[in-house]
Chain A
């Protein structure tokens, strides 16, 4: 049973470029959340996708956008990259959103390390 998989594992970009990160959720999961983890800090919530729609969003600018596909996989897009966007980007999957599933833990992938030069 494959867990959460993310690609690529590492990525190097320059300021102003655009990047797309990909995530496949754990089998049976339908909700995907994205987090940014800067060096030495805890993960910060970017947004969450469920039923192909953005359901919740953290305090991140519109340069950060996403998409969820019918097979529940997801992409994170970041435009006009800044040096401060250098971080580990984590994808987490879970079942449902709120309600009876509200206490279900999220399962994390190993992340994509994004470096901006």
Chain B
């Protein structure tokens, strides 16, 4: 069965610094991978998705993620953090049947 592991339940960066949120997946078949963001008291918003078309995926709000099969990773990055990026981020994997499996989440704090 597919699953994802998010390394670090809480990441804190300074405004303007690099954001790196880690996600490793396990899947017996090539997966579809997603990153979602959740702001307080809201649902999940899709940041980006990997569907095998390209290993480097660009998403909204300046985020991107790189699929590395050899490392079974799909880490999320952003060159320069903004205060508005503070939220909970979830990595998710699907084998294409919509039963997405989510990681436990990483809370991003941005310090002024």
Contacts A90-B44, A108-B45 given; does A48 touch B99 at CB 8 Å: yes
- CB contacts (< 8 Å) of B45 on chain A: these are 108
Query: Is the CB of B42 closer than 8 A to any CB of chain A?
Result: yes
Q: Is the CB of B98 within 8 A of A33?
A: yes
Which of B41, B43, B98 touches A94 (beta carbons < 8 Å)? B98
Partner-A contacts on B (CB < 8 A) = 32, 34, 36, 41-46, 49, 51, 90, 92, 94, 96-105
Q: Which residue of A lies closest to B51 (CB)?
A: A103
Query: Is the CB of A8 closer than 8 A to any CB of chain B?
Result: no
Q: Is the CB of A108 within 8 A of B98?
A: no
How many of A's residues come within 8 Å of B, CB to CB?
27
- CB contacts (< 8 Å) of A94 on chain B: these are 98
B96 to chain A, nearest CB (A): 3
A83 to chain B, nearest CB (A): 21
